Amino acid sequence: MCGIFGYVGNRKNAPKLVFDGLKSLEYRGYDSWGVAVVSEGKIILKKKAGKIGNANVDDLPEGNLAIGHTRWATHGGVTDINAHPLLDCKGNIAVIHNGIFENYQEFKKKLISKGHKFVSETDTEVISHMLETRPFRSVFRQMEGLNAVIAINNKDKSLVAARNGSPLCIGFGERENFLASDASALLPYTKYIYFLEDDEMAVIEEQKVVVFNVRTGKKIKYKRQKLNWKLSQGEKGKYPFYMLKEIYEQPQVVSDIASNFLSQAKKGAKLIKKAKGTYLVGCGTASYACLAGEYFFSKIAKKHVNFSVGSEFGYHLHFLNRESLVLALSQSGETMDILESVKKAKKRKAKIASLVNVFGSSLYRLSDYKMLIGAGLEKGVASTKAFTGMLAHLILLSYSLAGRLDEGQKVLISAVESMKEVLSPKVVRKIIALAQKIVGKRHIYVIGRGISYSTSLETALKIKEISYIHAEGLAAGELKHGPLALIEKGTPCIAFLPNDETYGANLAGAMEMKARGGFVIGISFKFHEVFDYYIPVRGAKEATIIPNIVVAQLLAYYLAIKKDFDPDKPRNLAKSVTVK
């Protein structure tokens, strides 16, 4: 969480350059934003609460050293004063920060007793004041928690940065260098980067970058990496929002996976076959991909694979050993709960495989076996194409484990054709009309069985996170154990009924909700009289979950649009969850 960007170089428009970098990072946090530039020996700030919107930094002076920050608030309210950067007493030092400085209060009390004046409620301002009398490395070593910090002062023409847990990467240019919390923000300027590791510190000047171990002070030899991403992947093009663009990119993403990732599937299947116990872990949307994966491996490969929510896995992994395999799923590769659990698993000698969308991310680097989703840059906070990409890879892994990889490829190709039908103008108009019918409702319930149980959970999550309507995903068989009491006349009830062994049982659940007055929305391969509203989805065996999810994404998107919400930047959320 929080977007960080820094620049030092020969250009004089550093404030504008940093500001543009922040706009590309705003999905990491949009409670407030700020930019600081060194100009004529002074640090000049501009910072505001709220989204960047149509703001600019045209009133900031020229300079060739600047830092900027987009905030996802943790300490202190969403105000101009609490926005980063934060200054020291004299205004000679500016700091931006991603993470939580857990022991800041003990230092703040000491600083206040020495006469320091604080103007904000943040933990970050404590760092600025500590830097008045102590070297950067000393300050960072005393900070507890998971943090990334960048500091500048009004004398040295350099950026000083360090990380422990929270992501930070360096970009290398000609007579200029950059810092960012996400490598995608560096694409307009360079493709050559270095991802700082935990407990690494960098001093970045116009023509020199030196990396140290923050604990020992020893210099570290580092190797630049080249990104193969395209700048166009980070642009909206003809679409009004990134989320809609990324929804429509999904047929191509799944098609590419079916064509180009067969070798990766074979290697992954060998790992799973060799392991004595495989565990799928993920958070949020990725956790529902893991749950679906558990069904895929059971149904397709007759293999028992365990699933756990990433934030909970660290509390019940005492059984892991050197023959265990943990397969961690993450779009960003920076989700803190996943990283913490993976580190604990490594301490128990378990092998770590990862399925991530971001090359070079923290999870990617931590893993013994690295697998890429290949969905391309995803900027909408609510994950779409990375999720369907995860599902596609898990289907290939399951079929490969069963020795039927060719069949898995065909199943995905069928899913691609079904997705294209869902994205056709005719079906999209039906989904828009449905959104109009239910946009005023306070509660929505979603049911499914088997693989469709994870579909119901992800559908509810998408509706919640971008339209702010309370939605609950349920295993259809659990309706009678309590949730049926919540169904009233007119309550929207979404039922997923694919052409598989769960059809009859799912239909029974839909009938139970209908009998209590529910407005039943059937998403299925065929119409049934119990449906009050029907959206057709052609079957693709186990991969039917993929076009079903596309229906859910479009419904959530159009609910948000009908309510005049920004689907790319839902309130209180951020793209990468880099705090516990």
Catalytic residues: 2, 575
DSSP state of 79: S
- Residue 116 CB partners (closer than 8 Å, separation 6+): 89, 129, 132
d(CA 490, CA 399) in angstroms, rounded, equals: 42
Give the number of C-alpha atoms closer than 13 A to the C-alpha of residue 577, restricted to the C-beta side: 20
Query: Is the peptide bond preceding residue 85 cis, with omega within 30 degrees of 0?
Result: yes
Alpha helix ranges (H) inside 71-148: 104-113, 124-130, 136-142
Strand partners, 4: 69
Q: DSSP string of 6-24? A: EEEES-SBHHHHHHHHHHH
Q: Are strands 3-9 and 176-180 parallel, antiparallel or unpaired?
A: antiparallel
Long-range contact pairs involving 530-536 (C-beta distance under 8 Å, separation at least 24): 531/495, 533/434, 533/437, 535/427, 535/430, 535/431, 535/434, 536/421, 536/427
d(CA 93, CA 96) in angstroms, rounded, equals: 10
Q: DSSP string of 334-385? A: --HHHHHHHHHHHHTT-EEEEEESSTT-HHHHH-SEEEE-------SSS--H
Q: DSSP string of 131-151? A: TTTS-HHHHHHH--SSEEEEE
d(CA 284, CA 239) in angstroms, rounded, equals: 26
d(CA 162, CA 160) in angstroms, rounded, equals: 7
DSSP state of 541: T
Strand partners, 43: 38
* Amino acid letter, 340: E
* C-alpha closest to that of 25 among 226, 223, 224, 188: 188
Strand partners, 540: 542
DSSP state of 123: S
**What 3-state class would DSSP assign to 67?**
strand
Assign residue 403 a region (left: φ > 0; alpha: ψ between -120 and 50; beta: otherwise).
left
* C-alpha closest to that of 157 among 96, 214, 206: 206
